[in-house]
Amino acid sequence: MNGNHDAFTLGPLETGPACCVPHPLIQVRNLSLQYDGKTALDTITLDIYQGCITALIGPSGCGKTSFLSTINRLTDLIPRCNVTGQILVGGQDIRHPNCDVQTLRRRIGMVFQKPVPFPLSIRRNLSLPLNEHGVTRKNEVAAIIEQVLRDVGLWNEVHDRLDASALSLSGGQQQRLCIARALALNPEILLMDEPCSALDPMASGVVEDLICRLQGRYTIVIVTHNLAQARRIANYAAFFWVRERAGQLVEFGRSQQIFESPRHELTAAYVNGSRG
Amino acid sequence: MQADRLLVWVLRGGATLTALVMLLILVFLLFESWPALTGLSLIRFVTDAAWHPLEGAYHLMPMLLATLLASSGALMLAVPLGLASAVFIVFFASPRLAAVYKRLIELLAGIPSVVFGFWGLTTLAPLINEWHPPGASLLAAVLVLTLMVLPMITLTAYTAFVAVPDALLRNAAALGLSRWGMIVGVALPAARNGIIAGIILAAARALGETMAVLMVAGNVVQYPESIFDPVRTLAANIALEMAYAMDDHRAVLFVSGLLLMALVMVLSVLAGLFERHRHA
Amino acid sequence: MPEIIIPVSVRQKIRDFSLQGLMYLAVLLVSAVFVWLLADLVQGGMAHLSWTFLTESPRDAGRSGGIASILVSTLLILLIALIAAIPLAWATAVLLAEFVPIDSRFGRIVRFSLYVLAGVPSIVFGLFGNAFFSIYLGFGFSILSGGLTLACMLLPILTSTAEAGMRAVPDAYRLSAAALGMTRTAALIHLIFPAAAPALAAGLLIGIGRALAETAALLFTSGYVDRMPDSLLDSGRALALHIFDLSMNVPGGDMPAYAAALVLVSLLLGINSLAMMFAHGLQRRRILT
């Protein structure tokens, strides 16, 4: 499972990277979601392209985070949450009863707004999910830990204190650890729910650079309120809007097009900062 | 997923068993009381001449009265003392003193009822005896019960006071209320439901208390004429007579247990209602 | 306190002054009585307490000898109670905290039943234990009957402390673990139980304290026999019951009763302090994270 890690050289984001291919990896069809009978997402249809960074933008409460949680079926954990419609990941219907949710979530990593290091050592934070997915050989685990910590640029900072509590890390380090933890499972897709918004500007910058470097290797879906950030890092952007408390997809396109020549007037107003 | 499903079934089994314990207790109390509930007319608990269970006379009233008297007496003493203690901890004591006093109350709460009874028997009752014989009396029961429920009242009142939003108190102070004006006028009403819930729970505890009362109350079945008369409570009666009770007598004891439980259940449901309103 | 510029009426001043005086009086009274009680116990107990008191079995109805067999019986009753109650209580707590929505019907029924159970007087548990364990199940007056009766009593406190402890674990851990594809069982074992461990331990200690203090429920379940128990089906006298019996039924039993009470209270205070430490440590850790 390590081979894949060496297949890409990590470097600064070039314009129009070759590794972003217009091949839909996630296909969302007529997705609706109700909490307690109240519609939170209203018939979303959207393709997420392989190896690209897709930014979900829009005002608070427009269902971006809910949308993210349906892709790895985290919505299963929410009582009285009802999802309808179809989501295909690599052609497989993830809402089919035969789809194993644990395996699905291994293929789809998720990073939350607030860093959530488990109250364990740095090493254990990374090895626990690996162990749970059957990777138990010590050498292999250690190799993956080193690899992913290098990937997120934490290795030099923490390699001599892997057994220290993960809670002793700074906010930015904690978030990078959480990204490393998701990467350790070698996912195809990374879902990121405002991964920078709980961090200070410095740490935020580091994490943003990291996300850029991950592009191509992973298919990334990122929710962000920071339009400048979305513009900097995203290949594609999806603009959500809330109508009668239900989130809807207004416009989807290449990030350049969304930000510079939006087709929909709501999009234009939002990206120009006059609404939302 | 498979493991999760298995776990949930195991857990559900455990939880169902746990919930069934309450039902089982009710069923067995009813089952054992059945001979008395059906065979004897219930009116006899009130109309029989006296409590002579071996001769089949089951007059429960003096014991019910003694139970109520002892509990209400204890509450009359413990409520003001407990409230004062809580006010002291929350509003007056320095943080250090507050911690020490609260710890003291918590320790008091941890002392078992048999030790309270023992202390009442060896220390309190002889003192009362010097003042007004025989010593083992309703008064002794009231005093011992007071000590037992006081921590409960103090700690629930403390929690209720602490939960009063600081903003309320700051506003009251800004209006120029004196500290007592603030406590009586703002904090007490705001904490009312929590405090009442605590008092009701304390009442339930006092009604059901057995050992401490058994050891100090004198255990004579009679309507007390003064607080210095010995009395016997329902719970104490069960403890005293279960060992040799047979047939109807045993069933009557279970009826009194059922009665106690009904009283306590009503009180705890009531307390629960107050508790819920506190959060509303 | 801010300075009050408007002159406060004299009546109000008198009210404040007398309320304050009464409050201090109450606090002094409570403290004094508590110190009196403790001093009494320590003074009376120390006079009779010795190493042999702990290691010898009672003779002459407890007037002489010690409490060794009593301690053994107490421990056995406690063990039975915990072995029976912990799996049930913690399973219930895990279910309530992790797997059923807070307002589901099943959860409500279980919670209500535990709430009522928590209020049942201990003498009623004694009646039930006698009727069910001793007679219906045929365990007689035995350590087993007593322990199982106590187990029923401990269910509410063990469940509610464990549930509260697990609820206090941030939801973010559960979501993160799920997002990493971990099963809920794995998240429970590796994350939630360790994080809730101090609360579980504190609840356990409180439960042990309750069990040790209990007398009325054991009167007619585990019985009075003060011999060293040979098996779990033997009757065995608990420490609290020993104190009761010595002081009520044995003329001249006051001195050993004092000593036994001192032993019991010290045990309980120790357990209580330990529980507080756990609960306190938990609080401090939560502030740090």
Q: Say whether pLDDT at C288 is over 70.
A: no
**pLDDT tops 60 at residue B250:** yes
Q: Is B174 on the interface with C (CB under 8 A)?
A: yes
Contacts of B178 in chain C (CB under 8 A): 4, 8, 12, 16
Query: Mean of the per-residue pLDDT values for chain C?
Result: 89
Q: Quick one: C88 and C160 in the same domain?
A: yes
At residue C15, the pLDDT reads 83
Kindly state whether residues C170 and C264 are assigned to the same domain. Answer: yes
pLDDT-based confidence at residue A67 (cuts at 50, 70, 90):
very high
**Which of B179, B215, B264 is the closest to C248 by Cβ?**
B215
* Domain-located, residue C144: yes
Question: Average pLDDT for residues B80-96, to the nearest whole number?
Answer: 94
Residue C130 lies in a domain: yes
Residue C218 lies in a domain: yes
Domain ranges of chain B: 1-39, 42-279
C250 and C139 within one domain: yes
Residue A26 has a pLDDT of: 92
Shared-domain flag, residues C56 and C28: no
Which whole number is the average pLDDT over C132-137?
94
Query: Band of the pLDDT at C3, cuts 50, 70, 90?
Result: low
- Touching C: which chains, 3+ CB pairs < 8 A? A, B
- Average of per-residue pLDDT across C242-250: 92
Four-point Cα dihedral C77, C83, C85, C87, nearest 10 = 180
Asked whether residue C2 is domain-assigned, the answer is no
Rounded to 5°, angle at Cα A241 from A44 and A37: 60
Q: Determine the residue type at C102.
A: I
- pLDDT tens for residues C248-264? 988 888 999 999 999 99
Q: What is the ipTM of this complex?
A: 0.92
- Reported as a single tens digit per residue, the pLDDT across B150-195 is 999 999 999 999 999 888 888 887 877 888 888 888 899 999 999 9
B42-279 has which fold? Answer: MetI-like fold (1.10.3720)
Residue C27 lies inside a defined structural domain of this protein: yes
- Segment C221-227 mean pLDDT: 88
Closest-CA residue of B relative to A99 is B1
When pLDDT is averaged across residues B229-242 and rounded to a whole number, the result is 93
Does residue C175 lie within any of the structural domains? yes
Yes or no, beta carbons of C132 and B24 under 8 Å apart = yes
**Per-residue model confidence (pLDDT) at position C8:** 59
Above 80 in pLDDT, residue A12?
no
**Phi/psi of residue A244, each to 5°?**
50, 50
Q: Are B242 and C16 inside 8 Å of each other by CB?
A: no
Please state the rounded mean pLDDT for residues A164-185.
91
A196-216 pLDDT, tens digit per residue, is 888 888 888 888 988 888 888
Identify whether residues C24 and C145 lie together within a single domain.
no
Q: How confident is the model at residue A6 (pLDDT cuts 50, 70, 90)?
A: very low
Contact residues, chain A, for B1 at CB < 8 Å: 100-102
DSSP structure class, residue A44: E
For chain C, the domain total comes to 2
pLDDT at residue C89 is higher than 90: yes
Percent of chain C with pLDDT over 90: 64
CA distances from A52 to A27, A222, A236, C48 (A): 14, 11, 7, 82
Chain C residue nearest residue A190, CA to CA: C179
Residues of B with CB under 8 A from a CB of A: 1
| HEC readout, A243-276 | ECCEEEEEEEEEHHHHHHCCCCHHHHHHHCCCCC
Q: Is A102 on the interface with B (CB under 8 A)?
A: yes
Q: Are residues C100 and C198 in the same domain?
A: yes
In this structure, the answer to whether residues C201 and C72 fall within a common structural domain is yes
Checking if the pLDDT of B276 tops 50, the result is yes
The pLDDT score that the predictor gives to residue A19 is: 62
Rounded-to-integer distance, Cα C76 and Cα C65, Å: 21
Find the domain containing C168 and state its range.
52-288
pLDDT higher than threshold 80 for residue B216: yes
Highest mean pLDDT, choosing among A32-41, A42-51, B80-89, C226-235: B80-89
Mean pLDDT over each residue of chain B, to the nearest integer? 90
Q: Give the residue-averaged pLDDT of C179-184.
A: 91
* Cβ atoms < 10 Å from Cβ of C84: 19
Cα(C66)–Cα(C49) distance, integer angstroms? 9
A10: pLDDT strictly greater than 80: no
What's the pLDDT at A3? Answer: 34
Yes or no, beta carbons of B3 and C185 under 8 Å apart:
yes
- Considering only residues A271 and C28, tell me which one the structure prediction assigns the higher pLDDT: C28
Asked whether residue C3 is assigned to any structural domain, the reply reads no
- Using CB atoms, pick whichever of C44, C184, C219 lies closest to residue B239: C219
Using a CB-CB cut-off of 8 Å, the residues of chain B touching C94 are 11
Residue C1 lies in a domain: no
List the structure tokens of A71.
Answer: 């892709």
Per-residue confidence (pLDDT) for residue C77, from 0 to 100? 96
Neighbouring-strand partners of residue A29: A86
Phi and psi of C66, rounded to 5°?
-130, -145
Q: Are residues C85 and C223 in the same domain?
A: yes
Test C182 with A181 for CB contact under 8 angstroms: no
The answer to whether A96 contacts chain B (CB < 8 Å) is no
Cα C259 to Cα A257: distance, rounded to the nearest angstrom: 87
Give the CATH number, domain containing residue C280: 1.10.3720.10
pLDDT (tens digit per residue) in A211-224:
888 888 899 999 99
> Do residue C232 and residue C247 come from a single domain?
yes
Q: Are A111 and A195 in contact (CB under 8 A)?
A: yes
Residues C85 and C114 in one domain: yes
Judge: A129–C194 Cβ closer than 8 Å, yes or no. no
Mutation site for B-interface testing, chosen from C13, C120, C183, C241 by largest number of B Cβ within 10 Å: C120
Q: How far apart are the first and last CA of chain B?
A: 38
Taking the CA of residue B65 and the nearest CA in chain A, the distance in Å comes to 50
Q: pLDDT-derived band of residue C64, with 50, 70 and 90 as boundaries?
A: confident
- Does the pLDDT at position C205 exceed 60? yes
β-pair partners for B55: none
Same-domain pairing of C24 and C83: no
Contact B111 C87 (CB under 8 A): no
**Range with the poorest average pLDDT among A197-201, B104-108, C110-114:** A197-201
Q: Which of C56-65, C180-189, C277-286 holds the top average pLDDT?
A: C180-189
Q: Which of C157, C124, C148 is nearest to B25 (CA)?
A: C124
Facing A103 at nearest CB: one of C179, C180, C181: C181
Considering the domain architecture, whether residues C33 and C99 belong to the same structural domain is answered as no
